[in-house]
Structure 1
Amino acid sequence: MAKRFVALGDSFTEGVGDWNPARPNGVKGWADRVARQLARQDPAWEYANLAIRSKRLRQIAAEQLEPALDLRPTLVTLYAGGNDILDLRTDVTALMQQYERFVAALAATGARVVLFTGYDLKISPLLEPFRHRHRVYNDEVRRISAAHGADLLDFWSFTAYRDPRLWEPDRMHMSTAGHRYMTARVLELLDVTYVPDLPDDDPARRGLREAVRAERQWLADWVLPMAGRKLRGVTLGDHLEPRWPEPVRPADGMKRLARARMARPAGGLSGADG
């Protein structure tokens, strides 16, 4: 019996932070890793990933929902809305109403649906005003998950992510180690055993001077460019295509599949959301 895993969303699901130039859009990510492990358990698994970095919920709904329904998934994952929370004009109530309609449409297919809360990463005092709407978002995801019979991965509660090495320098995207850990948590939910390769020593603590220097570097390298893109109305996902828009069989070898996919003409950018 055919089994099909379809991954939907933004940079979290596309794989930003788990950089790999040999994969479509230059990233690998937890969803690719999950698909490969599922195929090792059962070669019948197929996989599609429609996620693109920087997309807002309205764009994900408009661009990914119908193609996902057409693929008739047996397993579908969704993370969406995180970019909307960082937009000052977002109406969180309206956002979550649209999110629930999205989840309801997925659940109506009979597929197993997996949702994620967002992580309460204390990025910087500059972003503290967004934490309230982040909590509202997470509470609503929990409610919607229960209401529609979806599985929930409560990212908010994963204490392992207190380790800064599980995050990219932009402080918004998981590093390769973070994607490996997320792979293990998704597979655990799916009753598949997977032991991630993670840092096994304690992270070094920074002194005050180094912390101040890092904060300035973060502002210059990530915050100001993101603010500039918002002002210009552009994002790093504008010229990207879905990484795996058509189902592939991970059992055939992800490296070989990636070479075939990347042989097709496509544009691409690297970087954080925004």
Structure 2
Amino acid sequence: MPVGATSNESAEAAPLEPRHPWSRYVALGDSFTEGIGDPEPTVPGGHRGWADRVAEVLAQGDDDFAYANLAIRGRLIQQIIDEQIEPALALRPDLITISAGGNDVIRPGTDPDEISARFEYAVERLSRDRATIVLFTGVDVGFSPVFRGIRGKVAIYNENLRAIAAKHDLLVADQWALTEIQDQRMWAPDRLHLNPLGHHTVARMVLATLNVDNDLEPSTPEPLPARSWREARVGDLAWAREYLVPWVVRRIRHQSSGDFVTAKRPDAGPYAVPGGTERG
């Protein structure tokens, strides 16, 4: 200890312990990771989402932290493998999140075992540089009248993902157990994507999975509004007209909502707080 310095002064001068071990985070996936349902015009791509929210927390106090988001809406798992894995590895991340296969699972006639085999192939390639990898289970869709019929299929896929995670020592962000989002008020009007509160809730779960302290509060950024039975039924009809019918037409035409869309954050760089400055 320098002459004249007190123990308190020495403690104050000591460098702060890092809040987490990661410096380069890359997110892969489809519309869920792109942030659809959480519009924010001040960020790249015009959507914020859970991954941006996680990156904002991880960037706090770290000038060198970098973040890239390669996810594109509508992508099937093979497209994610073909289009996103090599660009992700080129960025040399030490933290990777991947949510893939959801668009495959909801398609009639698809096999969750075959989808899982593709997912494991993706994980094997992403494991090349020993980054921490986080995968996501699917949401328990039993609450949804639209998707309740594929609940068993989602459960099979989830069990396969858990086996992959155990085999390859991955972290599991468990949406199936996240009961807060089993509520239509957490979802955007299209009922396919989370709304801002839903994305916020998933971000809190991901940070808990990473064991990263944060100040994200439950039921923020907005409270859950109550809805009457009549309002819910009127909403069903409006939803079917505006979202379900166009979705079915796209399936028939073999089109995707992600056609001609590019990644919103293709390069790893500092995270910019919406409406503010770079967070570091």
Q: Shorter-chain-normalised TM-score: which range?
A: 0.7 to 0.9
1:262 aligned partner: none
Structure 1: unaligned runs, 5 residues or longer: 259-274
**8 Å Cα contact 1:14-1:243 kept in structure 2:** yes
Give the length in aligned residue pairs: 256
SS of the aligned residue for 1:156 comes to: coil
CA distance in 1, matches of 2:255, 2:39: 22
Which of 51, 55, 74 is matched with 2:71 structurally? Answer: 51
Worse-superposed segment, 130-139 or 193-202: 193-202
CA distance in 2, matches of 1:149, 1:219: 41
Q: Give the 3 Å change call, closer, same or farther, for CA 85–179 of structure 1 in structure 2.
A: same
Matched, 1:82 2:136: no
TM-score by length of 1: 0.86
Percent identity over paired residues: 39
Which of 151, 155, 171 is matched with 1:135 structurally? Answer: 155
Which of 200, 205, 222 is matched with 1:180 structurally? Answer: 200
Q: How does 1:140-159 map to 2 (within 5 A)?
A: 140-159=160-179
Cα deviation for residue 92 of structure 1 reads 2.1
TM-score by length of 2: 0.84
**8 Å Cα contact 1:74-1:112 kept in structure 2:** yes
Q: Give the 3 Å change call, closer, same or farther, for CA 188–111 of structure 1 in structure 2.
A: same
Which of 214, 217, 228 is matched with 1:206 structurally? Answer: 228
**8 Å Cα contact 2:120-2:164 kept in structure 1:** yes
Cα deviation for residue 125 of structure 1 reads 3.7
CA distance in 2, matches of 1:144, 1:240: 30
CA distance in 2, matches of 1:23, 1:116: 24
Cα deviation for residue 193 of structure 1 reads 1.6
**8 Å Cα contact 2:141-2:151 kept in structure 1:** no
Cα deviation for residue 89 of structure 1 reads 3.3
2:214 aligned partner: 193
Structure 2: unaligned runs, 5 residues or longer: 1-20
CA distance in 2, matches of 1:146, 1:123: 28
2:141 aligned partner: 121
2:182 aligned partner: 162
CA distance in 2, matches of 1:131, 1:245: 33
Structure with the largest fraction of helix: 1
2:248 aligned partner: 227
2:54 aligned partner: 34
Structure label with greater radius of gyration: 2
